[in-house]
């Protein structure tokens, strides 16, 4: 999450891009415009393109079911076709008058770890059969600062009673400097770059910052805790706007609580460690959680989302 306050500094660049795109549309006169996600930008660009006579195909629906349910009806006025990636979205948008179709989720296209389990364990120095705790604090600097210290502290607490436990943190690209600045707060943690999906796939269990990574981890069948902590201003605004009972994508897709969520004040070292411990210690608990996560993959269908979306777009312009 970028956060509400983080958008302000980018407004001049956003406005410039908006004007350039409209100028190009007037000159080029495209047969259709393909908009992808980014509702904050596309909800201004899309209606403007429609006024210019450009049909709009929208791929990856904005999460209006979380923020602004009324916007689904607004989209019917300017979206020609909407290709959605969650099955429940099709009925939601169709009921609002939008021509929507579920095409599958792009995460099912080639979701694979960077290395196999044996190579991963060799890299982090994990003995055969030893438990591995994966930490995925997020891809933005503020997420790393907010989540990594408490995740690492929980990992050290868990290691105290499990000497063989290896704690591995998947570091997002460009955050190497931020990780160095965290210094001793990451003591005892193996910080890995370029191994995000290996951590998700091969860890015994994971603590994952809310976002797409939680869905990826669920699709690998790895038990996880969804966490998130943000500044008081962003949280206060979000609490007034978000209409969902759950924030973790696995829970939203499944329609029930299949993974625990620790948000804001609930994200404490003791509580995080206690939630992860059963998966590290009990194979039966891990197996049960993998079964529950299987419902998430089943609801997303099979691969081919991009192909199905492209075929529907081609049908529109043919």
CATH code (residue 100): 3.40.50.2000
129 and 96 assigned to the same domain: no
pLDDT digits (tens, 9 = 90+) for 208-264: 999 999 999 999 999 999 999 986 655 554 555 555 667 899 999 998 999 999 998
225 and 307 assigned to the same domain: no
CB 272 within 8 A of CB 150: yes
CB 72 within 8 A of CB 64: yes
Q: How confident is the model at residue 4, as a pLDDT?
A: 47
Residue 126 domain boundaries: 117-300
231 and 266 assigned to the same domain: yes
Listed in sequence order, the residues at least 6 apart from 118 whose beta carbon sits closer than 8 Å to its beta carbon are none
* SS3 call for 81: strand
Of 62 and 175, the one with more pLDDT: 175
pLDDT digits (tens, 9 = 90+) for 75-97: 999 999 999 999 999 999 999 99
Q: How confident is the model at residue 239, as a pLDDT?
A: 55
Question: Tokens 């492209």, residue?
Answer: 310
Record the tokens describing residue 33, joined without a space. 């415009």
Q: Classify residue 33: in a domain, yes or no.
A: yes
For residues 302 and 255, give the distance between their C-alpha atoms in angstroms, rounded to a whole number. Answer: 19
Question: For residue 105, is pLDDT > 90?
Answer: yes
CB 200 within 8 A of CB 216: yes
Kindly give the residue spans of alpha helices, DSSP state H, lying in 161-224.
176-182, 196-202, 212-219
Q: Classify residue 112: in a domain, yes or no.
A: no
Residues for the chain: how many in total? 318
- The helix or strand, by DSSP H or E, that contains position 283, with its residue range, turns out to be helix 283-300
pLDDT digits (tens, 9 = 90+) for 122-139: 999 999 899 999 999 999
129 and 149 assigned to the same domain: yes
Among 161, 170, 134, which Cα is nearest to 281's?
A: 161
Q: How confident is the model at residue 39, as a pLDDT?
A: 85
Q: How confident is the model at residue 195, as a pLDDT?
A: 98
Q: How confident is the model at residue 160, as a pLDDT?
A: 94
Enumerate long-range contacts of 154-158, CB under 8 Å, 24 or more apart.
154/207, 154/269, 154/270, 154/272, 154/273, 154/276, 155/188, 155/189, 156/187, 156/188, 157/269, 157/270, 157/273, 158/133, 158/273, 158/276, 158/277, 158/280
Confidence band for 119, pLDDT divided at 50, 70 and 90: very high
Q: Classify residue 283: in a domain, yes or no.
A: yes
For residues 33 and 44, give the distance between their C-alpha atoms in angstroms, rounded to a whole number. Answer: 13
What is the total count of domains within the chain?
Answer: 2
How are beta strands 132-136 and 56-59 bridged, if at all? unpaired
62 and 173 assigned to the same domain: no
Confidence band for 3, pLDDT divided at 50, 70 and 90: very low
Question: For residue 2, is pLDDT > 50?
Answer: no
150 and 214 assigned to the same domain: yes
What are the two backbone dihedrals, phi and then psi, of residue 114, each rounded to the nearest 5 degrees?
-65, -30
What are the two backbone dihedrals, phi and then psi, of residue 37, each rounded to the nearest 5 degrees?
50, -140
- Report the sign of the C-alpha dihedral through residues 4, 264, 188, 155, in that order: negative
Q: How confident is the model at residue 67, as a pLDDT?
A: 62
22 and 121 assigned to the same domain: no
pLDDT (mean) for 308-312? 97
For a pLDDT cut of 90, what percent of the chain falls above it?
A: 79
Q: Classify residue 189: in a domain, yes or no.
A: yes
Cα→Cα distances 1→7, 17, 277, Å: 11, 21, 28
Record the tokens describing residue 257, joined without a space. 């609580």
- The helix or strand, by DSSP H or E, that contains position 297, with its residue range, turns out to be helix 283-300
129 and 102 assigned to the same domain: no
Q: Classify residue 230: in a domain, yes or no.
A: yes
For residues 247 and 225, give the distance between their C-alpha atoms in angstroms, rounded to a whole number. Answer: 12
Q: Classify residue 263: in a domain, yes or no.
A: yes
77 and 149 assigned to the same domain: no
Q: How confident is the model at residue 71, as a pLDDT?
A: 80
The pTM of this model reads 0.86
182 and 50 assigned to the same domain: no
For residues 145 and 178, give the distance between their C-alpha atoms in angstroms, rounded to a whole number. Answer: 8
130 and 259 assigned to the same domain: yes
Q: Classify residue 99: in a domain, yes or no.
A: yes
Q: Classify residue 44: in a domain, yes or no.
A: yes
Of 69 and 123, the one with more pLDDT: 123
List 57's β-bridge partners, or say none: 34, 81
19 and 60 assigned to the same domain: yes
């Amino acid at each position: 999450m970028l956060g509400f306050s983080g958008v302000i500094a980018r407004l001049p660049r956003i406005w410039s891009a908006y004007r350039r795109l409209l100028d190009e549309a007037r000159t080029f006169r495209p047969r259709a415009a393909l908009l992808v996600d980014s509702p904050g930008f596309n909800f201004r660009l899309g209606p403007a393109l429609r006024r210019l006579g450009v049909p709009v195909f929208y791929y990856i629906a904005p999460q209006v079911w979380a923020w602004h349910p009324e916007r689904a009806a607004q989209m019917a006025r300017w979206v020609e076709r909407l290709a959605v990636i969650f099955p429940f979205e099709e009925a939601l948008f169709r009921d609002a008058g939008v021509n929507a179709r579920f095409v599958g989720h792009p995460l099912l296209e080639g979701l694979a770890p960077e290395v196999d389990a044996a190579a991963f364990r060799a890299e982090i120095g994990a003995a055969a059969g030893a438990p591995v705790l994966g930490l995925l604090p997020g891809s933005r600097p503020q997420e790393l600062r907010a989540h990594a210290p408490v995740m690492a502290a929980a990992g050290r607490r868990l290691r105290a009673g499990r000497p063989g436990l290896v704690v591995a943190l998947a570091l997002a690209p460009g955050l190497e400097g931020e990780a160095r600045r965290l210094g001793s707060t990451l003591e005892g943690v193996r910080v890995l770059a370029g191994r995000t999906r290996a951590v998700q796939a091969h860890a015994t269990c994971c603590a994952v910052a809310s976002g797409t990574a939680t869905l990826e981890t669920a699709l690998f069948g790895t038990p996880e805790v969804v966490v998130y902590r943000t500044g008081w201003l962003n949280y206060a605004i979000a609490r007034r706007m978000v209409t969902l009972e759950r924030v973790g994508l696995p829970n939203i897709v499944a329609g029930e609580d299949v993974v625990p969520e620790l948000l804001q004040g609930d994200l404490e070292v003791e509580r995080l460690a206690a939630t992860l411990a059963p998966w590290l210690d009990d194979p039966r608990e891990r197996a049960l959680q993998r079964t529950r996560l299987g419902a998430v993959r089943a609801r997303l269908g099979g691969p081919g989302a991009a192909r199905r979306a492209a075929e529907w777009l081609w049908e529109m312009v043919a």
